[in-house]
Structure 1
């Protein structure tokens, strides 16, 4: 329920305020909005009268916003953008619902995307809109209704659906290995590639194999997919998720740098705010995703 409706400004007045804030004059705002200058001025005065607050500081050269106006337009711009996105989604899928899903780039490209055709076939009335994110990420100022999370259950105020553990493989280009590696510690003589979001992955990997190492250095990458390509081009050894590494190994562009036991450094989860619990497209996506995890698809 929307309370205090008398304080709700019109869309046209918010658009006028946002345009003046962005462009600095009523004439420029009028051109941007395909209105007359007097119409823009009228919208601004009407908004100020409704709010009972001076939003515009007027001088002969240009219009600028008062401190109160600057604070107000930040919220207005955010809400206008959300409304615009909702309108686009409605036009794209007028007969059903949509799900805004934020994904990790490597996971989305290599694991989720090849499977989404099946979801679309089973749920033709639901549109899944994908956006990518890096860590850290939050739902507060983001249109995403759910996200793929990697790591542990350390994200506050969300619900978790476990997908599968992230099992990593140490891989490199064939040219990087001059001879076979029998002991994992031999990898310490090779350049090691690291992820910015999980810079301790190599230390944790060695720990799982019973070796205590620290202070490992090397090139940093912001995404697993970028790091994988660096490994393909011979820049070093990378710890890559098995679903990402196996295709490159099959193509002969990467090889196992050390053929040891699989090591899991965390898990993949679908997460969503509790406010989205009853969102029907999300429920359908969760039910479908549950059939795609290894224990159900094997």
Structure 2
């Protein structure tokens, strides 16, 4: 037995608590769960009675979680997500072998997805469920078996596989560069620069790699590399983009290098997984297959 029954509240009561914590009221929680407000209130009272701990402060019509209730609701949310993910795994692959993978949108779509038909052919028993994640993941509270992410490879209590180093190049529309003499980093700073929301210091790091120290660099901010490509094509500014992403635009002349010079790699893409998951069959198959892909092509796809 996992635990005494008194420590295992009903799923419906836990859903009510999680919904109230997230939505801020029993009324909103009731609407989401297709229950009456009275039913939600009764579930919450029964949960408190079972646990012997006050989870909510009730003052008139206002309903707020106690500190203990808020902390419990956060753990409950993670638990409910894992239960839901387990059900999804069972439904999509009853024989087992599902891998829940967090991916970065641009790298995942441009580098991983074109290769996946080969993986599916080699491992038809493994199902890969992919979720786009723009910010740093947390294996403790998010239902991921592994993640493809960007960084320096330093994530505690994880293991990792280097997939590819990222080489960034400054690119702009020909019209933006016309009549301008851009020969140094100082010249580039006089042009409008386009920024990536998830890497606000990317320009500073790139300039620093070239020996030019700068303070905060102003400019428009976008949420994805692909959006920056479109902004650069329309002449809105200079984009600092992975070379694999703009190879075609550079080849056909729709974008030009804004500054020639040695290419700089200031980070890399990794497959990362929790140490305790290292032996999972689906993860092992995917990891070994990715290692073969990296060995066959050390550079990003051209």
Q: Same fold (TM over 0.5)?
A: yes
Q: Which residue number corresponds to residue 178 of structure 1?
A: 178
Deviation at 1:166, TM superposition (A): 0.5
Q: Which residue number corresponds to residue 199 of structure 2?
A: 198
Describe the shift of the 1:89–1:63 C-alpha distance in structure 2 as closer, same or farther (beyond 3 A). Answer: farther
Q: Which residue number corresponds to residue 150 of structure 1?
A: 150
Matched, 1:240 2:241: yes
Deviation at 1:47, TM superposition (A): 4.5
Q: Which residue number corresponds to residue 277 of structure 1?
A: 278
Q: Which residue number corresponds to residue 167 of structure 1?
A: 167
| Structure with greater Cα Rg | 1
Deviation at 1:155, TM superposition (A): 2.2
Gaps of 5+ in 2: none
Aligned residues: 292
Deviation at 1:46, TM superposition (A): 5.8
How far apart are the structure 2 equivalents of 1:264 and 1:120?
31
- Match of 1:193, SS state, is strand
Deviation at 1:152, TM superposition (A): 1.0
- Aligned equivalent of 2:26, options 21, 24, 29: 24
Describe the shift of the 1:251–1:285 C-alpha distance in structure 2 as closer, same or farther (beyond 3 A). Answer: farther
Describe the shift of the 1:176–1:2 C-alpha distance in structure 2 as closer, same or farther (beyond 3 A). Answer: same
Describe the shift of the 1:269–1:182 C-alpha distance in structure 2 as closer, same or farther (beyond 3 A). Answer: same
Indicate the RMSD between aligned Cα atoms, in angstroms: 3.6
Moved more, 94-103 or 73-82: 73-82
Q: Deviations over 1:110-166 (max 9, x none)?
A: 212222222222222212121222344322321122112222133222212111211
How far apart are the structure 1 equivalents of 2:206 and 2:32?
60
Deviation at 1:240, TM superposition (A): 0.7
Deviation at 1:15, TM superposition (A): 4.2
Q: Which residue number corresponds to residue 86 of structure 1?
A: 86
How far apart are the structure 1 equivalents of 2:142 and 2:71?
19
Kept in 2, the 8 Å contact 1:193–1:236? The answer is yes
Deviation at 1:7, TM superposition (A): 2.1
How far apart are the structure 2 equivalents of 1:266 and 1:286?
20
Kept in 1, the 8 Å contact 2:81–2:142? The answer is no
Kept in 2, the 8 Å contact 1:24–1:62? The answer is no
Q: Which residue number corresponds to residue 127 of structure 1?
A: 127
Matched, 1:288 2:284: no
Deviation at 1:194, TM superposition (A): 2.5
TM-score if structure 2 supplies the norm length? 0.79
Describe the shift of the 1:247–1:99 C-alpha distance in structure 2 as closer, same or farther (beyond 3 A). Answer: farther
Q: Which residue number corresponds to residue 137 of structure 2?
A: 137
Deviation at 1:87, TM superposition (A): 0.7
Deviation at 1:38, TM superposition (A): 8.1
TM-score if structure 1 supplies the norm length? 0.80
Describe the shift of the 1:273–1:217 C-alpha distance in structure 2 as closer, same or farther (beyond 3 A). Answer: same
Moved more, 270-279 or 200-209: 200-209
Deviation at 1:39, TM superposition (A): 11
